[in-house]
Structure 1
Amino acid sequence: MRKSRLKALIDLLDDPDNLVFESVERELLKENYSIIPALEEKWENSFDETCQERIENLIQDLQFKKTKNLLKSWMFSREKDLLEGFLTIDRFQYPDVNQAGVRHKIEKLKNEVWLELNDSLTLLEKTTILNHFLFNIHGFSINHNNLQSPQNCYLNQLLDTKKGNPLSLSLFYTIVARQLGLPARFTDFPKNPLIAIVDGDLAKRVHGKDTPSDVLFYINASNKGSIASRKEVNYHLKKNNYTPVEKFIEPLSDLSFIHRLLETLCDSFRSVGFAEKEERIEELLSLFKGTMGEK
């Protein structure tokens, strides 16, 4: 859109006629995120509360539109980088999130752990060292005092407060683990996910050539990275009548991981009564229809 036309439309945002505003709104929402600075300038120079409210709503709509497009692009990308997916969800609440700053914090943390690792260590030993740094030294934990807060679902908040929910903490753990070369995968264990360490060849050597799974062991990020065997996990599921067992302990795709994070965020907004945000998260969830069979 030409600058002159954009300016003319924005100047009409304070028109008292609702029909004029609705027409202007439709035109502006056809545009992308790039027009937000012009809208912000209009807001700063306006003394009309109605106009300012209209601009605020328009900006939120445009920001959501960008987040939705970014999520869609991530979903259909070849790599589906998990950190990128997590940061895309951050943009829902924090459209100007400092992604470079988030990446720097994770890189710094990863390097701390990496200095303590060497090739002679087993995957179990490397996991134990990672657990020590994340949970003992840095103090990451579940936010039991306010578990339903939507803030628990955002990576930037997790890094700032060291508090999250089972999904966000597991996502964060998986991202750091992978950057350290650990083959970490998501499993949709009931109530909170478990992180599976997966190595098919090693699993056959450790558990026998007839083992039905490539999983070596499981990590519970919600409990300071406690480690469980397949036998222990199977016992818990059968004892609590969860069937089929494989549904809850076999690794799923990163697409499923982000989908579950959005479901958790949706539940959080519902629990605190933010109906409008809940509806928008449901709109993001609708993008996943027909894609969840991917492994």
Structure 2
Amino acid sequence: MNETKEISALFTLIDDPDEEVFSNVSERIVHYGTGIIPNLENLWETTPSNDIQSRIEMLIHRLHYTDLTNDLTEWRDSAYHDLLFGALLVAKFQYPELHTTPVIQEIEKIRRNVWLELNSFLTSLEQANVVSNILYNYYKLKGTEIAYLNPDDFFLHKVLQCKKGNAISNGILYLVLAELLDIPVKAINIPRQFVLAFFNNDTDPLNITDNPQSKIIFYVDATTGHPFTHKDVEQYFKRISVPPVASYFKPLSKKRIIQILIEELAKCFDTSDLSYKKNELKQLADLLDN
């Protein structure tokens, strides 16, 4: 962006010790949008003061965050919620310069490898075994516990780069592949878990009016790709002393999946110096309620 007289004047006030002045200056700079980021980056490089550099970094973060808020609002209001695009938007919270094309290309490679092993005569369990074999054995995807120690475990592009994710990020990758391959897999609402369910081929999982559990053939642990049974789920509910009501077996909407991803990611930023990121993520999650 060409540096106008107003921009130059605003930049000279970034170091103003009066917080009210700096707040007004910040609002004016953010109003310019992400086009002003190269100017801020140039200012950062020529500024010797660490305090001013910190203010510039926060301004750049605010600009990216405002842009992300607008993109997520558009995604929320679109007629079709593309799960892959939603997950990549979440990754842009931490990696605003993320290039999505390499991610899409990598997923297409995996999809093709799975597709080559599938045929119309396979049972649902055989289909699941093909997906899991390619994803977890051939592709070497690993699963980690959700420990909130490493935000990268929640970001799809990092999962693909490091071949390691948690149940939510691995599960989203599995769901994206399943949708591309027309395999009826959905995430369901089991408490304290992110569980994938294989539904009957003749069932529309999003239009089940009653007893959704009866339409599920088996489940998949997204951390490992291993299938498990209805009996395993019943035992889990007994262990946590929660009755297995029908709503727990209804498929989660894509909007709700992305909301869960954001809510869980926010728990990675519990320290006082990063609490602003936790609050921003909560705001993004709340945005998806509207």
Partner of 1:207: none
Partner of 1:254: 254
C-alpha separation between the residues in 2 aligned to 1:20 and 1:269? Answer: 29
Q: How high is the TM-score relative to the length of structure 2?
A: 0.86
Deviations 1:240-285 (A, max 9, x none): 3223432322212111111111121112222797322211111212
Deviations 1:57-115 (A, max 9, x none): 11011111111111111111111100001000000000011211111111111111111
Task: Name whichever of 113-122 and 93-102 sits farther off.
Answer: 113-122
8 Å contact kept, 1:13–1:51: no
C-alpha separation between the residues in 1 aligned to 2:46 and 2:158? Answer: 32
8 Å contact kept, 1:201–1:214: no
C-alpha separation between the residues in 2 aligned to 1:266 and 1:20? Answer: 30
Q: Secondary structure at the match of 1:278?
A: helix
C-alpha separation between the residues in 2 aligned to 1:145 and 1:239? Answer: 20
- Find out whether 1:284 has 2:284 as its counterpart: yes
Give the AA of the match of 1:72: T
Partner of 2:84: 83
Partner of 1:206: none
- Find out whether 1:178 has 2:179 as its counterpart: yes
Q: How high is the TM-score relative to the length of structure 1?
A: 0.85
Instruction: Measure how far apart 1:40 and its partner are.
Output: 1.5
C-alpha separation between the residues in 2 aligned to 1:173 and 1:152? Answer: 15
**Matched positions, count:** 283
Partner of 1:105: 106
C-alpha separation between the residues in 1 aligned to 2:247 and 2:152? Answer: 29
Partner of 2:46: 45
1:130-141 to 2 correspondence within 5 Å?
130-141=131-142
Structure 2 runs not aligned, ≥5 long: 205-210
Structure 1 runs not aligned, ≥5 long: 204-209
Give the AA of the match of 1:93: Q
8 Å contact kept, 2:7–2:29: no
8 Å contact kept, 1:174–1:184: yes
- Find out whether 1:56 has 2:57 as its counterpart: yes
8 Å contact kept, 1:237–1:245: no
Partner of 2:208: none
Deviations 1:227-250 (A, max 9, x none): 233454234324532234323222
Give the AA of the match of 1:62: L
Give the AA of the match of 1:23: N
C-alpha separation between the residues in 1 aligned to 2:67 and 2:259? Answer: 18
C-alpha separation between the residues in 1 aligned to 2:84 and 2:219? Answer: 21
1:10-49 to 2 correspondence within 5 Å?
10-16=10-16, 18=18, 20-49=21-50
Deviations 1:193-230 (A, max 9, x none): 11122346369xxxxxx9864323221112x2222334
8 Å contact kept, 2:188–2:195: yes
C-alpha separation between the residues in 2 aligned to 1:200 and 1:226? Answer: 20
Percent identity, please: 30
C-alpha separation between the residues in 1 aligned to 2:197 and 2:104? Answer: 24
Partner of 1:236: 236
Partner of 1:156: 157
Change (3 A) 1:237 1:272: farther
Partner of 1:226: 226
8 Å contact kept, 2:199–2:217: yes
Instruction: Measure how far apart 1:4 and its partner are.
Output: 2.0
Instruction: Measure how far apart 1:180 and its partner are.
Output: 1.7
C-alpha separation between the residues in 1 aligned to 2:146 and 2:243? Answer: 32
C-alpha separation between the residues in 2 aligned to 1:20 and 1:211? Answer: 57
Deviations 1:20-57 (A, max 9, x none): 43332121122322221222122223334443222211
8 Å contact kept, 1:238–1:245: no
- Find out whether 1:129 has 2:123 as its counterpart: no
Partner of 2:144: 143
Change (3 A) 1:211 1:42: closer
**RMSD, aligned CA:** 2.7
